[in-house]
Amino acid sequence: MSNNFDIITNSSTSKLKLVLKSLLVGVMTSFVAILYRYALAYAEEYSFIFYNFQRNNKWIIPFCFIILAIIGWIVGKIVEKEPFSGGSGIPQVKGIVGGYLTNRPISIIFYKFIGGVLSIISGLSLGREGPSVQLGACTGDILSKKFKSSRLERRLLMSSGASAGLAAAFNAPLSGVLFSLEEIYKYFSPLVLLSTITAAVASDFIAKEFFGLQPVFNFGKTTPIPLTNYWLLIILGLILGISGVFYNWCTLNSQKIYGKIKLKSSTKMIIPFLFAGVIGLIFPVVLCGGHAVIESLSLSSTLELLILILIGKFIFSMISFGSGAPGGIFFPLLIIGGSIGALFGYVVINYFGVNPEFFNNFIIISMAGYFTAIVRAPITGIILITEMTNSLSHLLSLTIVSIIAYIVAEAFKSKPIYDSLLDSLLKKNNINEYHKESTKKIIIANIIHFGSKAENKTIKDIVLPPNALIVSIKRGQATIVPKGDTILKAGDEILTMTDLSNEWKIRESLEALTTVY
């Protein structure tokens, strides 16, 4: 209760403390994420060496499949031991920050690290970004407990760690900040911005000391697409929007298919590892995150090869992620989006006379559009690809394609992938009703959005959930003691006290009142 009282009455001095704590979270997260990034880079390198050795020494293939089965079984046991170590990690972070789930940060960091490395060294089509976000959030959670933080500050430090993890994974600090605002919180808050940008910039600075200033994708100098060719972007945006809807549908159904297999998790986990063995022998380019795919996307490739790469990467990504193996979908979906762009570029260049120098533009633009259709975070997607390519020349075309892809996905009523994955996670953990009352109280912060149900309403006209009470309103630099006739204005930050056990349900109800989607 003393921490809650401090949140209500002391906002100015706590900001300085929050910045310093977020700075420490960013620094600590950077080292965890850097170590994980190095480990996965070496794991991916050895994975290709492993499969190349098999192709040159076919007598060893049966023994290698036995090794893959054992590794799959071990990873399955890891996920059984620590269920939150499986999958992307981003839905888990959203669930913990939202108050739906409890966190076991040390256990998750340990098992996520081991499981992720084993999955990549085996060749599974998974990424490092989701796990890096989760590792960062867990690091922030550990430090928040050391600081004896309030529940609100704990959430801020966890989201700061998540932003720092993404920043270190992709050399993309702004994307890390926007990801927290757009995906985890889904609203803009000066306090969230302050904490996340501090952690992300600190983490990115340290990561660049290890990995240098080179962008993740180095396409060289790209020539902007002329306005006369922008009609192509409309077609590309439509294709990416529909493809993103299909990706989300396939991802969720791949999980359902695995769920219907009547075997232990440790036994089912062997399936994607055996698939990796087969693919590693016949079509290794689609293994792991996807750097090998990017190197294969060129106009010198045949149309058949580009189609095969796209289909192969898509199917193997579904098999890999649907199993629940530790690893993200973030990077593989960017690679799939880039493959769609390469295929589109090949067709319009070879059959419609478009200038070949725009080929790489279509790859870059498609990454952002596909990401937006799937994740439904357009600003993050635009800034992410800009940071990952270190180029502003395609900013306008990126934005246009992302907006069109977003509209198409919305028109199909396709739910954002991480929201859908969180729903599945909550159902799996049987979280669907109010918990019993608790003597512990927490403070929940919400921003009143323009056009929301709560805007310009008096507090007495607001129907709050049971066991919830607005205890303070922050309007700019002023703190207002709420009364029944106090009118809520857009931009106000309301602080609501409730039982700790009801946190997640109260958050949902308050967001419905204060947010416009």
* pLDDT tens column, 195-211: 999 999 999 999 999 98
Cα separation values, 149 from 145, 146, 188, Å? 6, 8, 22
CB atoms within 10 A of CB 63: 10
Closest CA to 180 of 195, 201, 202: 195
Q: What is the mean pLDDT of residues 164-187?
A: 87
Domains 227-263+278-425 and 438-514 share a fold: no
pLDDT at 6: 54
Domain with residues 438-514, CATH architecture: 2-Layer Sandwich (3.30)
Lowest mean pLDDT among 184-188, 240-244, 477-481, 495-499: 184-188
- Which of 174-178, 365-369, 421-425, 510-514 shows the lowest mean pLDDT across its residues? 510-514
In this model, does residue 247 exceed pLDDT 80?
A: yes
Within 8 A by CB and 6+ apart from 67, the residues are: none
**pLDDT reading at 475 higher than 50:** yes
**In sequence order, what are the beta bridge partners of 469?**
497
Is the predicted pLDDT of residue 228 greater than 50, yes or no? yes
User: Is pLDDT at 248 greater than 90 in this prediction?
Assistant: yes
**Separation in Å, CA 231 to CA 234, 364, 401, 404:** 5, 17, 11, 12
Q: Is the pLDDT of residue 436 over 50?
A: no
Looking at residue 151, its pLDDT comes to: 77
What is the Cα–Cα distance from 56 to 44, expressed in whole angstroms?
19
Work out the number of other CB atoms within 10 angstroms of the CB of residue 17.
Answer: 13
Give yes or no for residue 433 having a pLDDT over 80: no
357-389 confidence digits (pLDDT tens) = 999 999 999 999 999 999 998 998 899 898 888
> Residue 9 above 60 pLDDT?
no
Q: What is the pLDDT of residues 181-194, one digit of tens each?
A: 888 877 777 788 88
459 in helix, strand or coil?
helix
* pLDDT for the residue numbered 501: 66
- Given this structure, which CATH class describes domain 2-211? mainly alpha
In this structure, of 34-48, 145-159, 426-440, the range with the lowest mean pLDDT score is: 426-440
pLDDT at residue number 11 = 52
Q: Which residue has the higher pLDDT, 13 or 408?
A: 408
- pLDDT of res. 509: 80
- The mean pLDDT value for 226-252 works out to 94
How confident is the model over 488-501, as a mean pLDDT? 80
Tokens of 102: 């409890």
3-state secondary structure 13-32: HHHHHHHHHHHHHHHHHHHH
Residues 6 or more apart in contact with residue 247 via CB below 8 angstroms: 314, 333, 336, 370, 373, 374, 417
How many whole angstroms from its chain centre is CA 246?
19
CATH superfamily of 227-263+278-425: Clc chloride channel (1.10.3080.10)
Ramachandran region of residue 328, left (φ > 0), alpha (ψ -120 to 50) or beta? Answer: beta
Share of the chain above pLDDT 70, in %: 94
Sorting pLDDT into bands at 50, 70 and 90, what band is 432? low
| Nearest partner of 235 among 135, 317, 350, 340, judged by Cα | 340
Q: Kindly report, residue by residue over 347-360, the tens digit of the pLDDT.
A: 999 999 889 999 99
List Cα–Cα distances, 102 to 209, 325, 501, in angstroms. Answer: 34, 21, 11
Mean pLDDT calculated for residue range 313-324: 93
pLDDT value for 20: 92
Q: What one-letter code names the amino acid at 232?
A: L
What band does 440 get if pLDDT is binned at 50, 70 and 90? Answer: low
Chain-wide mean pLDDT for the chain?
87
Residue 63 has pLDDT above 90, yes or no: yes
The pLDDT tens digits of the residues spanning 135-158 come to 999 999 999 989 888 777 888 899
Please state, as a whole number, how many other Cβ atoms lie within 10 Å of the Cβ of residue 402. 27
Q: Residue 353: count other Cβ atoms within 10 Å of its Cβ.
A: 7
Q: What is the pLDDT of residue 10?
A: 53
Give residue 311's pLDDT: 95
- What pLDDT band is residue 133 in, cutting at 50, 70 and 90? very high
Q: What is the rounded average pLDDT of the residues 379-407?
A: 90
pLDDT at 517: 56
Spatial CA neighbour of 398 closest among 197, 175, 185: 175
Query: Which H or E run includes 494?
Result: strand 493-499
The residue among 271, 287, 281, 274 whose CA lies nearest residue 58 is 281
Please provide the size of the chain in residues: 517
What residue has token string 């973030």?
330
Instruction: Confirm if 296 and 322 have CB atoms less than 8 A apart.
Output: no
Flag whether pLDDT at 466 surpasses 70: yes
Q: Assign 435 a pLDDT band (cuts: 50, 70, 90).
A: very low
Which residues have a Cβ under 8 Å from the Cβ of 347 and sit 6 or more positions away? 303
Nearest to 220 by CA among 416, 371, 357: 357
Please state, in angstroms and rounded to a whole number, the distance separating the CA atoms of residues 96 and 397: 36
What does the pLDDT look like over 97-127, one tens digit per residue? 877 788 889 999 999 999 999 999 999 999 8
Strand partners, 473: 480, 494
pTM: 0.85
Q: Are 83 and 170 in contact (CB under 8 A)?
A: no
Q: Coil, strand or helix: which one is 195? A: helix
Task: Give the pLDDT of residue 13.
Answer: 44
Question: Residue type at 404?
Answer: I
Pairing of β 493-499 and β 441-447: antiparallel
Rounded average pLDDT over 401-424: 92
Of 80-94, 95-109, 305-319, 440-454, where does the model show the most confidence?
Answer: 305-319
Q: Domain residues of the chain, as ranges?
A: 2-211, 227-263+278-425, 438-514
Decide if pLDDT at 3 tops 50. yes
Q: Is the pLDDT of residue 308 over 90?
A: yes
